[in-house]
């Protein structure tokens, strides 16, 4: 929500998608905000890293811990001036299958 907060209300978009792909669940969250800087993209999932004035820098770190604890993976992409895309993949069976962390689809 913060990523699109400075856009006019009628232009704000956050899109959630969920689908089954083989033995994985894939969850995608996209927005049409300003994107993520290349510097920030490499640090997003680090504990205590934040770009928000009031942020604690724990949200995405906790998300990564939870996803990985269930045998999955989480990643982020940025499309400058077009927004960001977060991808979560989780196995639908044995959490140790290792199938959930293949390279993300570049859609």
For residue 106, what pLDDT is reported?
Answer: 45
Question: Per residue in 16-34, pLDDT tens?
Answer: 999 999 999 999 999 998 8
Q: Sign of the C-alpha dihedral, residues 47, 17, 26, 69? A: positive
How high is the pLDDT of residue 25? 97
pLDDT of res. 78: 93
Task: Tell if the pTM clears 0.85, that is, is over it.
Answer: no
- C-alpha pair distances (Å), 66 with each of 45, 71, 76, 88, 106: 12, 9, 16, 11, 23
pLDDT tens digits for 40-80?
998 999 999 887 778 888 999 999 999 999 999 999 999 87
Confidence of residue 102 (pLDDT cuts 50, 70, 90): low
88: β partners: 27, 74
Query: Domains, the chain, ranges and CATH?
Result: 2-101 (3.30.565.10)
Tokens at 27, concatenated: 């969850």
Contact 90, 73 (CB under 8 A): no
Nearest by Cα to 34 from 56, 51, 55 = 51
């Amino acid at each position: 929500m913060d990523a699109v907060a400075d856009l006019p209300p009628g232009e704000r978009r956050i899109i959630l998608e969920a689908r089954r792909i083989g033995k994985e669940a894939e969850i995608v969250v996209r927005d049409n905000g300003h994107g993520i800087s290349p510097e920030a993209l490499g640090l997003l999932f680090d504990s205590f890293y934040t770009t928000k004035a009031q942020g604690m820098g724990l949200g995405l770190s906790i998300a990564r811990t939870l996803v990985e604890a269930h045998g999955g993976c989480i990643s982020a992409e940025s499309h400058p001036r077009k927004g960001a895309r977060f991808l979560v993949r989780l196995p639908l069976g044995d959490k140790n299958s290792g199938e959930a962390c293949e390279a993300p689809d570049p859609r």
